[in-house]
Amino acid sequence: MRILYHLPLSPFARKVRLALTEKRIPFELRVERVWERRTEFLEMNPACTVPVLQEPSGLAIADSYAICEYLDEAYPDTGLFGRTLAERAEVRRLVAWFDGKFQAEVTRNLLFEKQMKRLLGRGNPDASAIRAGYQNLKPHLDYIGWLAENRPWLAGPQVSLADFAAAAHLSALDYIGDIDWSVNEAAKEWYARCKSRPCFRSLLAERVAGITPPTHYADLDF
C-alpha cells in the first residue's frame, strides 16, 4: 500500500493529498507526530517533516515538491505542471510563491504560531508575528484575486499544482478561522471552484481533535 505520512493541518501535506486524489492514485493517510522524532520516520526523512510518501515498493520520498514532481513523472495522466514550457515555468513559480513567500509571510505567522509552535516545543505564540500574518494575508488574497480574474486557473488555462499549493495553505488557515473571504471576491470565487472539485472532499470532511472549523469551512456556497 502507498502511505502518506502527514499532519491534518499541514499545507504541504494537503497539497500532496490534493495532487494524489486529483490523479486518482490510491493512498492511505497516516498521522506522523513529528515532534516525537520516531526513528523509523527519521530514517525516511532526516529533516523530520511531513509529508513523506512511501510507495508500495518501499521507496520513501520526502518534501512535498519532490513528491509532486515524482508523482507527475511516475503517473503522467492528469498532469499538474501545465502543458507548454511557459505554463510549466509559471506553475513552478507560483508553487514556490505559495510554499515559500506565502508560507513565510502568512502561514508561518498564523498556523505555526497558533497551533504548531507549542507542539514542537518551540515556545509560546508571538503576538507580533500573528499581527504581521493578518496584515500580510490581505495583499496575498488580492494577488490571488488578480490572478483569478486574469486567467481561468492561477497559473494558466488548466488547474495545476499552483492552485493546489495556494488552496492547501488557504484551507488550513480557513480551518482555524483565519480567512476573511470578504477581502477579495475573485479570490473567494476561485477558492469556491477549488472546493467543488472531488479532490477536495476528504479534506473538507476531516476534523482535527480539539479544533472546530467555522461553519463556512466545508460549505461549497460560502
Ligand X SMILES: N[C@@H](CCC(=O)N[C@@H](CS)C(=O)NCC(=O)O)C(=O)O
Using DSSP bridges, classify how beta strands 28-31 and 60-62 pair: parallel, antiparallel or unpaired: unpaired
Residues lying near ligand X in the complex (CB under 6 A): 7, 10, 12, 34, 48-51, 63-65, 99, 120
Residue 91, C-alpha cell as written in the block: 506553475
Residue among 86 and 104 whose Cβ is closer to ligand X: 104
Nearest-approach distance from CB 168 to ligand X, in angstroms? 10
Residue among 12 and 184 whose Cβ is closer to ligand X: 12
Nearest-approach distance from CB 199 to ligand X, in angstroms? 18
Q: How many helices, marked H, and strands, marked E, lie in the chain?
A: 9, 4
Nearest-approach distance from CB 146 to ligand X, in angstroms? 25
Residue 87, C-alpha cell as written in the block: 505554463
Residue among 90 and 99 whose Cβ is closer to ligand X: 99
Nearest-approach distance from CB 155 to ligand X, in angstroms? 18
Nearest-approach distance from CB 171 to ligand X, in angstroms? 13
Residue among 36 and 221 whose Cβ is closer to ligand X: 36
Cα end-to-end distance, the chain, whole Å: 36
DSSP letter, residue 188? H
Q: Please report, as a single letter, which amino acid is at residue 91.
A: V
Contact in structure between 145 and 182 (CB atoms under 8 Å): no
Q: Please report, as a single letter, which amino acid is at residue 148.
A: A
Residue among 12 and 200 whose Cβ is closer to ligand X: 12
Residue 6, C-alpha cell as written in the block: 502527514
Q: Rounded to an integer, what is the distance from CA 132 to the centroid of its chain?
A: 20
